[in-house]
């Protein structure tokens, strides 16, 4: 009997039930899809690390050492596997494909290739291309004990003239097994190596050039592995290859320090948590997990609210029925179960649909993510736990939403239930006591706003629902705006050059003059960069000291808050007087203006102490800055420029080729091209905001629909009376719409604030020396979000208004009450 | 006596799928100025239907109904709304006050809708509720609420006052005071129609129309109606 009643109720207002289930489905899909893919990704990282023996510790030695002099340290107790190796960067040349590349900021875009300009078909044209390769030595026999490689194509290198390329650089230049890579020694000798294999490495799941450059383009930077004997022949005249890095796994974390203690002074230890690739991925994954919990929680909270609103209304409307059922002998329990069943059923249905959809979506997300990031080995985990949790969350949400109304129903006494309605008592809202002029409004307006206070809990839910939906839309827009702003700030305001050429050991001033005279070159700026270690109280940070000439602005610190006078002020009578730090470094190491920082040059390990004079707000690249000549003088450098920036108004490609053919050029970066691609990618990213808009929109739609519908149902008699008394139906519709809009506006405002807060929390969580983004919201984001939500509010009010227009006045007016 | 409302061949049939309910069979009726007409009849005889047609809440299936020279069955929805607003005062069995407005505000609400309303406070005083003006409906007794409803109907100085079971939810003492207010309104020239199945109430009418199965079975004029305050049931 009761089940029949339940079924009738669902069938009679299917939209309400659908709205409640829909919110549930959205929440559960979000939760299960993102949490499942989080688990899959985490599992895949762990699995890759495990199979490839990803190191626990890296020790960088203060220079080159004979292998035998350092490997003893690896005998320390607690060390499981160890490897001593040589790591260095060398200029290289490859025959690169000339087709446009789908690659940006460390992300392989070929997965979303459809959205990019089409690649030309036909045979690959090739041109020589200079780039920097990070070369790591691998044992001649057998695989590395630590940080093993996964061979994607080809065979593991077995002879001294073979090289293995990390897959990103290989794919980018379309290099295949059997192609050649030419390496250049510091003394200018060159040697061609044959590509034996294309590989993936657990150390370079995320390819970073350094902590300051986590988005190197494979155009100019790549990773490669060469057998020891090859490096020995090429660089050390066939003698034994020295080493400069130890990597090892441990069974006891204390072993890290123990190994370090056994090594020459000056060696620095990096634990896994601070390994760049791992850290970037971890930040990303952590952020992802937070979102995987946070947004679904919001959705389910709103779902519970909507169910509560619906059920509270039903119980109130059915007081007579409840009283009658109790009088007929139904137990309190039976009534409780009956009224809880609707909410539980919505929860169960929502979570079942949601969990299954989530499972499918999670597979897709995992695939996409794995393809974009390039995780070496993928292992998915069974998702019973998440499925169970999803079902549980659905039921809990249903129970939370249904329990209060169900208990209220069960505790109604039969006699009481059938008495006149005690609720809906009008009273003067506090707002009117605080703000008396409200009492002088026209009567219809008064009805309108007093109703908002008559059922404050429902008004609150409308507000919260809109707020959550708004913040959902806004938080993703604000994140994107902030990234957009940071990227533009970085690539357009600060890095204003079109081409960057790196020289080793450096370019003399004549070369700069020559370059300035070249056709198509508009401006040239030379800077000196010294690789340095900053020593703080506890920690050591490796970065570079960049010497800039005041008045030259191809790399422009002025938008970052450092003007020419600030830069000039770093120069003293005999070299640097002080330095400017990237703001993120100041934050990370708790340094403020006026503090003294110890700076060690990695060229000759000499140590200087400088005062911190200011901070530069640079989103990417946590560098240290000073006046150019002062930097050179402080570190006794010859008059050479390590990096040259150029702006070009002629044929850029020709100029780049020309630069690459010059002696001493390590790599040439086409910054203008990068800038275009960044712009393009950001435009595309905004398209994905549409997804969030859709989700937020659906949520808002469901919430506003239910609350306006319920509030109209509850006031049908009152609204019909107004119509009978002669209030034009348009006026009533206006009043009802305005009520919705006022609540919506409050929700919109709260949501805007909430969205900002969430975005800054999210960015703060990410904020590090790797990326330093500020929260930025473009005005257009507010406008678009506001208008979008307004549209949704109006749309979701429509069914209610239609119901209002179709009110049967004669019928409603004779009802005893609603 | 001039006819304020003239119904000619007016009938109402409700159609629910296959089934037709003849709520009112074709009838001719006229209502005069300053007259209290009481409509009685058993449940389902069509009393409320008749009242709704006169009040412009519904349209007749056939025939015409003319109020003050306007054939209201030809009006569109907007026209009917205006008609209800300008010409008709409704009084319901369950009062139907707007809960979020005070007694005075409920009256003012209606006053704000018409061109030349009476003074809301005076009307409220006239029904004996001057001192309860600032109370919300939930704070008033049933009789007081019904008197507010009458004030609300009177304030726009309508041509017609239509009351469907106005005493249905009230005890005798409160009920007769409400009826007395309706009688007073008629004395000031309003056409008052009271629907009831309480035959005691019928005694106050200038005219008693009896309905059965949608037909007028008698239409009786009363020479000396009973003073409402003397009615008992
Ligand atoms: N909206 C409707 N749809 C279908 N039939 C209706 C509708 N309204 C009234 N009826 C039918 O029309 C007939 C007359 O109804 P009406 O409400 O006028 O009776 P009444 O005399 O006011 O009765 P009561 O004294 O019980 O209020 C009844 O048979 C009723 O079932
Ligand atoms: Mg009736």
- Answer yes or no: is A724 within a domain: yes
Q: Are residues A124 and A230 in the same domain?
A: yes
B58 in A contact zone (CB under 8 Å): yes
Q: Is the pLDDT of residue A423 over 50?
A: no
Which pLDDT belongs to residue A114?
Answer: 47
Which pLDDT belongs to residue A105?
Answer: 53
More confident residue, A426 or A666: A666
Nearest ligand to the CA of B40 is 1
- Give buried/exposed letters for A544-570 (b at 16+ CB in 10 A, else e): bbbbbbbebbbbbbebbebebebbebb
Name the residue range of residue A222's domain. 87-241
Q: Is the pLDDT of residue A1 over 70?
A: no
Lowest mean per-residue pLDDT among A160-164, A263-267, A428-432, B26-30:
A428-432
SS3 state at B231: coil
C-beta separation of A175 from A141 below 8 A: no
Among A700, A696, A785, A740, residue whose Cα is nearest residue A306: A700
- Answer yes or no: is A791 within a domain: yes
Q: Are residues A600 and A671 in the same domain?
A: yes
SS3 state at A175: coil
| Residues of chain A with C-beta less than 8 angstroms from the C-beta of B54 | none
Q: What number of C-beta contacts closer than 8 Å exist between A and B?
A: 93
Which pLDDT belongs to residue A818?
Answer: 47
Among B165, B183, B161, residue whose Cα is nearest residue B230: B183
B196 in A contact zone (CB under 8 Å): no
Q: Are residues A349 and A490 in the same domain?
A: no
Instruction: Pick from A726, A807, A809 the residue to mutate for testing the B interface (most B CBs within 10 Å).
Output: A726
- Give buried/exposed letters for A347-362 (b at 16+ CB in 10 A, else e): bbbbbbbbbbbbbebb
Tens digits of per-residue pLDDT, A770-789?
777 888 889 998 898 888 88
Q: Is the pLDDT of residue A563 over 90?
A: yes
| Residues of chain B with C-beta less than 8 angstroms from the C-beta of A424 | 99, 138
Q: Are residues A65 and A138 in the same domain?
A: no
Give the separation between CA B191 and CA A706, rounded to whole angstroms: 44
Burial class (CB in 10 A: 0-12, 13-18, 19+), A786: middle
Please identify, among A183, A217, A241, the residue that sits at the C-terminal boundary of a domain: A241
Give the Å distance between the CA of B27 and the centre of ligand 1. 17
Give the separation between CA A427 and CA B134, rounded to whole angstroms: 10
Q: Are residues A92 and A21 in the same domain?
A: no
SS3 state at A415: helix
| Residue in A425, A444, A725 nearest the CB of B99 | A425
C-beta separation of A449 from A438 below 8 A: yes
B138 lines ligand 1 (CB under 6 A): no
Give the Å distance between the CA of B14 and the centre of ligand 1. 9
| Residues of chain A with C-beta less than 8 angstroms from the C-beta of B55 | 724
C-beta separation of A413 from A83 below 8 A: no
Angle at B70 between CA B66 and CA B76, to 5 degrees: 100
Written as six digits, the tokens of A69 are 């002099």
More confident residue, A483 or A74: A74
* Rounded (to 5) percent helix, strand, coil in chain A: 55, 20, 25
Q: Answer whether CATH 3.30.1300.10 is correct for domain B3-230.
A: no
| Residues of chain A with C-beta less than 8 angstroms from the C-beta of B57 | 724, 809-810, 813
B86 in A contact zone (CB under 8 Å): yes
Q: Is the pLDDT of residue A314 over 50?
A: yes
State the ipTM, two decimals. Answer: 0.81
- Answer yes or no: is A183 within a domain: yes
B102 alpha-carbon distance from chain centroid: 22
Q: Is the pLDDT of residue A815 over 80?
A: no
* Rounded (to 5) percent helix, strand, coil in chain B: 35, 30, 35
Q: Is the pLDDT of residue A18 over 60?
A: yes
Among B2, B18, B188, B171, residue whose Cα is nearest residue B89: B188
Please give the sequence-ordered ranges of beta strands (E in DSSP) within A657-754, or none if there are none: 665-670
B57 lines ligand 1 (CB under 6 A): no
Average pLDDT of the residues of chain A: 85
**Residue boundaries of the structural domains of chain B:** 3-230
- Answer yes or no: is A445 within a domain: no
Lowest mean per-residue pLDDT among A486-500, A588-602, A655-669, A691-705:
A691-705
Please identify, among A218, A241, A264, the residue that sits at the C-terminal boundary of a domain: A241
Q: In this complex, do B81 and A444 lie within 8 Å of one another by their Cβ atoms? A: no
C-beta separation of A759 from A474 below 8 A: yes
Q: Are residues A411 and A461 in the same domain?
A: no
Give the count of domains, chain A.
5
Lowest mean per-residue pLDDT among A171-175, A433-437, A445-449, A658-662:
A433-437
A165 has which bridge partners?
A198, A224
Q: Are residues A363 and A410 in the same domain?
A: yes
Mean pLDDT of A237-265: 93
Written as six digits, the tokens of B233 are 């049931």
B19 has which bridge partners?
B16
C-alpha distance from B137 to closest chain A C-alpha (Å) = 7
Residue A382: what are its φ and ψ, rounded to 5°? -65, 145
Residue of A nearest to B156 (CA): A725
Q: Are residues A538 and A472 in the same domain?
A: no
Q: Are residues A328 and A200 in the same domain?
A: no
pLDDT confidence tier of residue A118, bands split at 50, 70 and 90: very low
B146 in A contact zone (CB under 8 Å): no
pLDDT confidence tier of residue A117, bands split at 50, 70 and 90: very low
More confident residue, A167 or B1: A167
Tens digits of per-residue pLDDT, A356-373?
999 998 888 888 778 777
- Answer yes or no: is A531 within a domain: yes
Residue A581: what are its φ and ψ, rounded to 5°? -105, 150
Q: What part of B 11-40 touches A (C-beta under 8 Å)? A: none
Give the separation between CA A46 and CA A202, rounded to whole angstroms: 10
Q: What global pTM score does this model have?
A: 0.72
Atom of ligand 1 nearest to the CA of B15: 4
C-alpha distance from B57 to closest chain A C-alpha (Å) = 6
Query: CB count, 10 Å around CB of A379?
Result: 14
Residues 6+ apart with CB under 8 A from A382: none
Q: Are residues A230 and A92 in the same domain?
A: yes
- Answer yes or no: is A435 within a domain: no
Instruction: Pick from B94, B99, B138, B154 the residue to mutate for testing the A interface (most A CBs within 10 Å).
Output: B99
Atom of ligand 1 nearest to the CA of B211: 21
Residue A297: what are its φ and ψ, rounded to 5°? -60, -40
Q: In this complex, do A725 and B108 lie within 8 Å of one another by their Cβ atoms? A: no
Q: Is the pLDDT of residue A566 over 50?
A: yes
Over chain B (233 residues), the average pLDDT of each successive run of 10 is: 87 89 94 93 92 91 94 90 90 84 90 89 90 89 89 90 87 87 90 90 92 94 88 82
B84 in A contact zone (CB under 8 Å): yes
B162 has which bridge partners?
B90, B193
- Answer yes or no: is A697 within a domain: yes
| Residue in B78, B94, B139 nearest the CB of A816 | B94
Tens digits of per-residue pLDDT, A273-304?
999 999 988 888 887 787 778 778 877 888 88
- 3 state SS for A447-499: HHHHHHHHCHHHHHHHHHHHHHHHHHHHHHHHHHHHHHHHHHHHHHHHECCCE
Report every protein residue that has its C-beta within 5 angstroms of ion ligand 2. Answer: B 48
C-alpha distance from B223 to closest chain A C-alpha (Å) = 33
DSSP annotation string for A763-796: HHHH-SSSB-------HHHHHHHHHHHHHHHHHH
Which pLDDT belongs to residue B211?
Answer: 94
B48 lines ligand 1 (CB under 6 A): yes
Please identify, among A678, A695, A711, the residue that sits at the C-terminal boundary of a domain: A678
Give the separation between CA A405 and CA A69, rounded to whole angstroms: 77
Residue of B nearest to A439 (CA): B105
- Answer yes or no: is A611 within a domain: yes
Q: Are residues A258 and A324 in the same domain?
A: no
Q: Are residues A237 and A252 in the same domain?
A: no
Q: In this complex, do A727 and B81 lie within 8 Å of one another by their Cβ atoms? A: yes
């Amino acid at each position: 009997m009761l089940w029949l009643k339940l079924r009738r109720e669902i069938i009679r207002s299917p939209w309400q039930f659908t709205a409640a289930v829909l919110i549930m489905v959205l929440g559960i899909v979000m939760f299960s899809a993102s949490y499942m893919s989080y688990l899959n990704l985490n599992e895949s990282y762990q699995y890759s690390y495990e199979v490839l023996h990803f190191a626990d510790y890296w020790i960088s030695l203060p220079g080159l050492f004979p292998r035998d002099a350092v490997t003893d340290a690896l005998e320390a107790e607690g060390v499981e596997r160890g490897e001593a190796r040589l790591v260095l960067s060398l200029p290289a040349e490859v025959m690169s494909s000339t087709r446009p590349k789908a690659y940006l900021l460390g992300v392989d875009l070929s997965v979303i290739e459809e959205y990019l300009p089409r690649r030309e078909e036909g045979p690959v044209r090739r041109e020589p291309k200079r780039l920097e390769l990070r070369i790591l030595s691998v044992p001649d026999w057998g695989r590395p004990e630590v940080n093993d490689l996964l061979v994607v194509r080809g065979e593991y290198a077995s002879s001294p003239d073979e090289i293995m390329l990390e897959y990103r650089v290989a794919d980018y230049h379309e290099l295949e097994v059997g192609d050649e890579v030419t390496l250049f020694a510091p003394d200018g000798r060159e040697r061609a190596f044959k590509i034996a294999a294309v590989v993936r490495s657990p150390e370079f799941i995320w390819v970073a050039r350094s902590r300051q450059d986590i988005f190197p383009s494979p155009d100019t930077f790549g990773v490669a592995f060469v057998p020891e004997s090859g490096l020995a022949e090429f660089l050390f005249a066939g003698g034994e290859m020295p080493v400069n890095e130890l990597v090892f796994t441990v069974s006891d974390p204390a072993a890290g320090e123990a190994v370090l203690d056994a090594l020459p002074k000056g060696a620095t230890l990096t634990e896994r948590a601070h390994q760049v690739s791992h850290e970037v991925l971890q930040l990303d994954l952590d952020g992802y997990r937070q979102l995987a919990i946070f947004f679904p929680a919001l959705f389910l909270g709103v779902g519970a609210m909507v169910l509560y609103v619906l059920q509270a209304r039903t119980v109130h409307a059915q007081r007579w029925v409840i009283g009658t059922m109790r009088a007929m002998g139904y137990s309190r329990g039976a009534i409780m179960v009956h009224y809880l069943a609707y909410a539980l059923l919505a929860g169960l249905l929502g979570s079942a649909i949601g969990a299954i959809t989530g499972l499918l979506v999670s597979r897709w997300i995992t695939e996409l993510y794995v393809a974009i990031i390039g995780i070496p080995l993928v292992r998915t985990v069974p998702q019973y736990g998440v499925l169970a949790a999803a079902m549980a969350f659905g039921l809990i949400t249903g129970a939370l939403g249904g329990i209060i109304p169900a208990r209220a129903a069960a505790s109604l006494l039969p006699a009481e239930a059938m008495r006149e309605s005690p609720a809906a008592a009008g009273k003067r809202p506090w707002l009117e006591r605080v703000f008396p002029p409200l009492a002088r409004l026209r009567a219809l307006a008064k009805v309108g706003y007093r109703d908002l206070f008559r059922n404050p809990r429902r008004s609150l839910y409308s507000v919260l629902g809109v707020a959550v939906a708004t913040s959902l839309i806004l938080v993703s827009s604000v994140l994107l705006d902030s990234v957009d702003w940071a990227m533009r700030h970085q690539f357009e305001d600060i890095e204003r050059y079109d081409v960057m050429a790196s020289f080793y050991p450096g370019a003399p001033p004549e070369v700069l003059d020559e370059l300035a005279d070249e056709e198509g070159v508009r401006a040239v700026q030379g800077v000196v960069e010294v690789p340095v270690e900053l020593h703080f109280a506890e920690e050591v940070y490796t970065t570079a000291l960049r010497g800039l000439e005041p008045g030259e602005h191809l790399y422009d610190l002025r938008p970052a808050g450092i003007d020419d006078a600030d830069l000039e002020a770093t120069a003293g009578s005999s070299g640097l007087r002080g330095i400017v730090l990237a703001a993120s470094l100041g934050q990370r190491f708790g340094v403020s203006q006026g503090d003294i920082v110890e700076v060690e040059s990695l060229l000759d390990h000499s140590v200087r102490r400088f005062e911190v004079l200011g901070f530069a707000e640079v989103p990417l690249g946590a560098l240290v800055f000073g006046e150019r000549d002062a930097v050179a003088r402080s570190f006794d450098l010859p008059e050479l420029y390590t990096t040259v920036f150029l702006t070009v108004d002629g044929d850029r490609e020709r100029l780049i080729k020309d630069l690459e053919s010059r002696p001493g050029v390590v790599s040439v970066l086409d910054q203008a091209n990068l800038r275009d691609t960044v712009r393009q990618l950001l435009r595309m990213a905004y398209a994905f905001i549409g997804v969030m808009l859709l989700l937020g929109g659906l949520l808002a739609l469901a919430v506003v629909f239910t609350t306006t519908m319920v509030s109209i149902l509850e006031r049908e008699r009152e609204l019909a009376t107004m119509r009978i008394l002669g209030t034009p139906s348009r006026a009533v519709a206006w009043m009802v719409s305005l009520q919705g809009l006022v609540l919506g506006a409050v929700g919109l405002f709260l949501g805007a604030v909430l969205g900002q807060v969430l975005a800054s929390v999210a960015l703060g969580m990410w904020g590090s020396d790797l990326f330093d983004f500020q929260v930025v919201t473009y005005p257009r984001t507010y406008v678009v979000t506001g208008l979008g939500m307004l549209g949704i509010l109006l749309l979701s009010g429509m069914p209610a208004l239609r119901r209002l227009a179709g009110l049967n006045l004669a019928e409603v007016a004779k009802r005893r009450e609603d | 006596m001039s006819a304020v409302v003239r119904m000619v061949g007016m009938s109402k049939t409700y159609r629910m799928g296959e089934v037709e309910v003849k709520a009112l069979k074709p009838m001719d009726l006229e209502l005069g100025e300053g007259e209290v007409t009481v409509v009685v009849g058993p449940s389902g005889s069509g009393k409320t239907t008749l009242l709704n047609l006169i009040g412009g809440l519904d349209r007749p299936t056939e025939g015409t109904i003319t109020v003050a020279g306007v054939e209201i069955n030809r009006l569109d929805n907007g026209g009917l709304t205006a008609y209800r607003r300008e010409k008709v005062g409704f009084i319901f069995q369950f009062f139907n006050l707007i809960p979020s407005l005070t007694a005075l505000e409920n009256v003012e609400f209606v006053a704000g809708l018409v061109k030349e309303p009476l003074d809301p406070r005076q009307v409220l005083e006239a029904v004996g509720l001057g001192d309860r003006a600032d109370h919300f409906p939930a704070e008033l007794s049933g009789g007081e609420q019904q008197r507010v409803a009458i004030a609300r109907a009177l304030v726009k100085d309508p041509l017609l006052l239509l009351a469907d079971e106005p005493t249905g939810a009230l005890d005798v003492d409160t009920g007769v005071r409400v009826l007395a207010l309706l009688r007073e309104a008629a004395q000031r020239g309003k056409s008052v129609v009271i629907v009831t199945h309480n035959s005691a109430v019928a005694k106050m009418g200038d005219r008693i129309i009896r309905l059965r199965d949608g037909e007028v079975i008698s239409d009786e004029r009363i020479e000396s109606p009973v003073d409402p305050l003397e009615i008992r049931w």
